[in-house]
Amino acid sequence: MLRITDARSGEPTDAALARRGVVRVHAHVSGFDTTALRVLVVADVLVRALEIGGTPVWPTLSSARELAELRSGAAALGIRPFEDHHEPATGLGDARTLHVRGPRDGATDAEAADGVHVEVAPVDPAGRPGLEDPTVLRLALLAAPRDEPLRLDAAALADAEGTLTRWRAAVAGWATLPSRPVPDDVRGRLRGAWEDDLDVPGVLRVLSWVETSDVPEGARFETYAYADRLLGLELTREIGGQR
């Protein structure tokens, strides 16, 4: 069961109120900037984690301005569409709302009394240049704990690009070998990380360990493909030499 820390109380709480009860993941942003994209990436991964666990999710979004630009930037990062904000429908049963927001993107008074609040720290874009591969930016935004400010400088982007290039090439190579199931202990470490307050850097550390471990190569492929259901980094896209 995914547990998430409520930014208001500092206490961990179950992401869903009831098994298979609907969870609304509501992203709050004030406009289009790199911090807003970080909020949406975190919200997207939260949706993915809930869905992997079998929880039905309703993703919604509120933005004060630049909604078209925000949606375009989100799509480039592989963030699945969030519905425009509107009041929750009745008849959802044991529903929980998870509010994902930046430090200056608070919920309304009515919303503040409802659900769990997940705060995402700001991003200093450091003059970020355009990127040929937007998933480099996605990985850079995921690599640091979400509650820590992130400086998105050339070094951070180069590190993300190098990691993606290496992992995609490795996955393409492992895909040519007989497949093996994800080892139970590895699956447990991955799930243990993302179900413990959505610890995405912990998931990335498990993948880094698997990369050079004695796990059979066919199982490494399945491990990376499984983890990418959460990460959304297109780790299998180099299979067969296709970009």
User: Which of 79, 97, 93, 86 lies closest to 6 in space, CA to CA?
Assistant: 97
| pLDDT of res. 243 | 44
Residue type, 179: S
CA angle 227, 120, 82 (to 5 degrees): 65
Cα–Cα distance between 205 and 208 in angstroms, integer?
Answer: 5
215 and 149 belong to one structural domain: yes
86 and 147 belong to one structural domain: no
| pLDDT of res. 167 | 98
Structure tokens at 75: 């799509």
| pLDDT tens series, the chain, 243 aa | 899 999 999 999 999 887 667 899 999 998 899 999 999 999 999 999 999 999 999 999 988 778 889 999 999 999 999 998 766 555 555 578 999 999 876 555 445 557 899 999 999 987 665 677 999 999 999 999 999 999 999 899 999 999 999 999 999 999 999 999 999 999 999 999 999 999 999 999 999 999 999 999 999 999 999 999 999 999 999 998 744
Contact (Cβ atoms closer than 8 angstroms) between residue 141 and residue 37: yes
45 and 135 belong to one structural domain: no
Structure tokens at 82: 């969030």
Q: Is 233 helix (H, G, I), strand (E, B) or coil?
A: coil
Inside any domain, residue 80: yes
Question: Given CA atoms 231, 130, 120, 41 in this order, what sign does their dihedral have?
Answer: negative
Burial 45-60 (b: 16+ CB within 10 A, else e): bbbbbbebbebebbbb
Structure tokens at 16: 């869903």
Q: What is the reported pTM?
A: 0.92
Contact (Cβ atoms closer than 8 angstroms) between residue 119 and residue 98: no
Last residue of a domain, one of 120, 146, 172: 120
| pLDDT of res. 232 | 97
| pLDDT of res. 109 | 44
Question: Given CA atoms 73, 79, 83, 86 in this order, what sign does their dihedral have?
Answer: negative
Structure tokens at 167: 């992992």
95 and 153 belong to one structural domain: no
133 and 99 belong to one structural domain: no
CATH of the domain at 9: 3.40.50
Inside any domain, residue 243: no
Last residue of a domain, one of 120, 155, 172: 120
41 and 133 belong to one structural domain: no
Q: Which residue has the tokens 């447990």?
A: 188
Domain extent for 62: 3-120
User: Which of 198, 197, 184 lies closest to 226 in space, CA to CA?
Assistant: 184
